[in-house]
Each structure stands twice: as C-alpha cells, then as structure tokens.
Amino acid sequence: MPTVLAAAVEHAGVLLALFIIIAAAKVMAELFERLRQPAVVGEILAGVIIGPSVLGLVQPTELISIVAEIGVIFLLFTVGLETKPQDILRVGKKAALVATLGVVFPFVAGYLIALFWGGTFIESMFIGAALVATSVGITARVLGSMGLLDLETSRVILGAAVIDDILGLIILSVVSGLADGAVNFANLAKTAGLAILFTVVVGLFGARIMTALAPRISDLHVNKPFFNIGLMCCFGLSVVSLYFGVAAIIGAFLAGMALAEATEGNQKMRVLTSGVTEFLVPFFLVHIGMQLNLSVFNDSSVVVLALVITAAAVVTKFVGGGLGAWGMKRREMAQIGVGMIPRGEVGIVVAQIGLGMAVISEQFFASVLFMAVATTLIAPPLIKIFYSEDRDLDGVEDVIIDTDISEDFTRLG
C-alpha cells in the first residue's frame, strides 16, 4: 500500500509541474500579447519565474526535457508542412551563404572574446562553437504566428538554419575532437557527408514520394490516415536524422516538407497538428527559461562577460546573416539577420558538452547560458519590428495556420 501511495504522490507531482508550466506560459503569453509583444518572450520568461532562479515552483527534470523536445519537433514539423521543397531550393544559394557567414562571424568572435578573457585554446574554441548554431524553433514560432512563413526571407532563414545545423555539427565534432586530443578526419568527413546526403535526399525526393503515395493513403481505413502517416514520418525522420548526425528537429522539418505538396491531405494534417503543437510548444519555451540560473551572476565579472558574449552573439549573427543575403533589399537583409539571432537550446547543449568534458569553466558556462536565453528573448521583438511592414499584425492570432481551427475541426468531423 505505501508503494501505491508513493506512486500516486509522484504522479500528482508530475501533473502539478505540467499544470504550473502550461498555466504560467499561457498567462505570460496573454500578458505579452496585450502589451503587443511576441507571446514567446512571455513564455520563456515564465520559465525563468517558475524555475529554480526565482520561485522554484518547478525544477528541470528529464521528463520536462523530453516533453520540451517533442514540442520543438512538432513545431518544426508544422513549419515544414507550410514549406514546399521547391521554395527552399529556389533560395538555396542565398541560404547557403547566409548560413556560412552566420557561422564564421560568431565563431571567430566567440573564440577571440574567450581568448581575451583568459580562456584556454580549447575553452575559446568551445565558446566560439556555442555561438554558431541558430535555434530555428524560436524564429519559426514567431514568423508562423505572424503568418509570414510564405515570404522569401522566411524561406532563406529556414534553409539557412538547416545548413547552419550541419556546419555547427562539423565545428562541434572538430572542437570535441581537439578536446579529446585528436580529430578523426575520416569519421568527421563520413558524418558530415551522411548528414548532407540525408538532408538532400529527403529534401529532393521526399515530397515526390509522398505525393505519389497520397491516393493510397486516403484509401486507408484507419481514422485520420494522413495525420497518422504524418506522425510516423515526423518521428521516424527525427530518429533517422539523429543517426545521420543532424538534430531531430531537422528531420521533423524535412518530414513536414515531404508532406507539404500532398494537397489531398495537407490541410487536414495542418489543422490536427496545430492543436498538438499549441499544447506542446510552451513546454519547449518554458524549459529554455528554466535553464537560466541567476545566482551565478552575483559575480560582476561574470555579468560583464555574459553581456559581452551576448552582444557579440547578436551583432555577428545579424551582420553575418544580413551580408549573406547581399543583393536583396536592405530591409530584407535585416529581416534575415534578426531571424538568425536566437540560440536557444542549441547554445546550451554545446556549453553543457564542454562543461561535461571539463574543458570550460563555470564562468564561461554561465555566460553562454545567459547568452542562449537572452538571444532567444531579444530576437522575437526584433523580428516583429523588422517584419511589421510586410503584414498588418493587428488581429493576427498566435497560430501557425491561417484558418479558423474550430471550423476546420467541424468540417473534419
């Protein structure tokens, strides 16, 4: 009996944590919407408030981390459903240049700052690597809520984020190898080659295959066949992408793109997926905020370092991404630059790897953690400002699809 009671108490604790997260996220999202600020900023700040740094109502756990990961996977899958492969291919060269400059500038800046601050060679390399990768989930969330995923600049950002992830993987592999004492270039080339091959093959042929299979899928007797097949593709390609060396969210995004042109079932799948996405994404955003430990900033030197690294992270991505879009209008270049700013969970993961290998100090780890959360908070308002002329944002709901969900659910039965 005591065992049963203990299990019940544990389950109640889990449910209470989930309740606090979703309630805090939605209250803060409502508050920021009323202030005409992006809801994602409020949801991330909700994590800071209820997390260990302030109220301590919820502690980061493995379960919350898993739910957060599923949330960002669904977010990128939904974005993929809005993005046809041909749209990405049309901006491929531009996206590649944006990604390359958006990697080189932050890496060099992070390396030099850490070196100037007394960091070792390996430590400086890790700080540079932590500034490299873009957290496309944040940008996608904001652009989707504003109904701007169909713009050319949005496609450039999404395409650059995919390339950015592969480049970041290569840099992290090299830096980790140096920390271990040697770099295995054969394995590095193999991993990079497989990651590129996986992305190109799924991007080029995935949509053709799924479009061809669409009539057969509609003949299945299972309830909501396209939605169920979509879920299988989403999680299946997320797992496969990890084995090929790229982030799970890239696999989810590619799965969505593969289904984007299957017009027969795409609209139904978008409606059903959006409901799941709206439920899960707040956990991803709140989890980012919960990672920030404010107590480490009692040391003024850490505060200064964190601010310097954050400023460098913002400026280098903005300049690198903007220059990569050279030839477009200045406003469009600026839009792409701000879209590449957020680091989110990506920078945190790189810093955690360095800390786990005992090659970066607590001072640098805390500064990178602050940078990851700060850039995630800074980017959404900037995105809204720079994109304000493209759409009238008044009355736009914070959903990724532009249809009335309740009506669509009624039609779907």
Contact yes or no for 134/342 (Cβ under 8 A): yes
Domain of residue 70: give its range: 61-411
**Tens of pLDDT along 19-61?**
999 999 999 999 988 887 778 888 989 998 999 888 989 988 8
Q: Give 182's pLDDT tier (boundaries 50, 70, 90).
A: low
Please list the alpha-helical segments (H only) found in 219-299. 225-243, 248-260, 263-290
Cβ count near 76 (within 10 Å) = 29
pLDDT of residue 399: 40
**Burial profile 43-56: b = 16 or more Cβ within 10 angstroms, e = fewer:** bbbbbbebbbbeee
Q: Give 410's pLDDT tier (boundaries 50, 70, 90).
A: very low
Q: Give 345's pLDDT tier (boundaries 50, 70, 90).
A: low
210 is a domain residue: yes
348 is a domain residue: yes
Contact yes or no for 277/82 (Cβ under 8 A): no
90 is a domain residue: yes
Kindly list the distances between the CA atom of residue 151 and the CA atoms of 16, 84, 143, 368, in Å, as whole numbers in the listed order. 40, 12, 10, 32
Whole-angstrom Cα distance, residue 254 to residue 166? 14
pLDDT of residue 109: 95
Q: Which of 69-78, 164-173, 270-279 is predicted least confidently?
A: 164-173
48 is a domain residue: no
Q: What is the largest CA-CA distance in the chain?
A: 71
Whole-angstrom Cα distance, residue 284 to residue 276? 13
Pick 413 or 211 by higher pLDDT: 211
Q: Which of 58-72, 294-308, 399-413 is predicted least confidently?
A: 399-413
pLDDT of residue 323: 94
Contact yes or no for 341/378 (Cβ under 8 A): yes
Pick 288 or 324 by higher pLDDT: 324
50 is a domain residue: no
> Does pLDDT of 81 surpass 90?
no
> Does pLDDT of 240 surpass 80?
yes
Contact yes or no for 150/139 (Cβ under 8 A): no
> Does pLDDT of 268 surpass 80?
no
Q: Tell me the CATH number at 284.
A: 1.20.1530.20
pLDDT of residue 318: 94
Candidate ranges 147-161, 258-272, 303-317; pick with highest mean pLDDT: 303-317
Q: Give 315's pLDDT tier (boundaries 50, 70, 90).
A: very high
- Extended beta strands in 346-400, E state: none
15 is a domain residue: no
pLDDT of residue 181: 67
pLDDT of residue 395: 41
- Number of domains comprising the chain: 1
**Tens of pLDDT along 358-390?**
778 878 888 888 888 888 888 888 888 888 776
Whole-angstrom Cα distance, residue 249 to residue 231? 14
pTM of the model: 0.77
The one-letter amino acid at 71 = G
pLDDT of residue 183: 62
First-to-last alpha carbon distance for the chain, in angstroms, is 44
Quickly list DSSP for 164-215. Answer: HHHHHHHHHHHHHHHHHT---HHHHHHHHHHHHHHHHHHHHHHHHHHHHHHH
Whole-angstrom Cα distance, residue 292 to residue 210? 41
Q: Give 167's pLDDT tier (boundaries 50, 70, 90).
A: confident
Q: Give 283's pLDDT tier (boundaries 50, 70, 90).
A: very high
pLDDT of residue 405: 39
